[in-house]
Amino acid sequence: MKTFSARAQDVKRDWWVIDAKDQMLGQVAVKAATLLRGKHKAIYTTHVDTGDFVVVINADHIRVGGKKDVQKTYMSFSGYVGGHKHETFRARRERRPELLVERAVKGMIMHNALGATTYRKLKVYSGAEHPHEAQNPKAATL
């Protein structure tokens, strides 16, 4: 019996929509990362991008548990002296809620060139509308 290994040109890519309204951030990120990697498919191969496209809508209505909306902080560094910036979960949600989901998913996929191509298939929108209706996305359940 030969071991099956998927080839990138033979992978059929589907489109999925995840509605994040009143869903936990971690659960949405886990589902999105699984679909992006292609781990839900029988042809999953670790070194080949076998994943699908994922659209996350209603990112501004996502939830977190406990006091994370006040206590959780995000840090960024520009590389310059004094370039550290800190921001709470609540402040980031008000400024740009798509970043919450994007950062959570990015931490769950590979941190290499394959992960970079996988991450490009993630589309996150703060509202309920998205411009990918032509691709006939399927609804993903959590």
Ordered by start, the domain boundaries in the chain are 8-139
Q: What pLDDT, on the 0 to 100 scale, is given for residue 25?
A: 97
Average pLDDT of adjacent 10-residue blocks, the chain of 142 residues: 88 97 97 97 94 97 95 96 96 96 97 97 97 97 91
Q: What pLDDT, on the 0 to 100 scale, is given for residue 61?
A: 97
Q: What pLDDT, on the 0 to 100 scale, is given for residue 1?
A: 81
What letter represents residue 137's amino acid? Answer: P
Q: What pLDDT, on the 0 to 100 scale, is given for residue 122?
A: 98
Q: What pLDDT, on the 0 to 100 scale, is given for residue 4?
A: 86
pTM of the model: 0.92
- Fold category of 8-139 in CATH: Ribosomal Protein L13p; Chain: A; (3.90.1180)
Q: What pLDDT, on the 0 to 100 scale, is given for residue 68?
A: 95
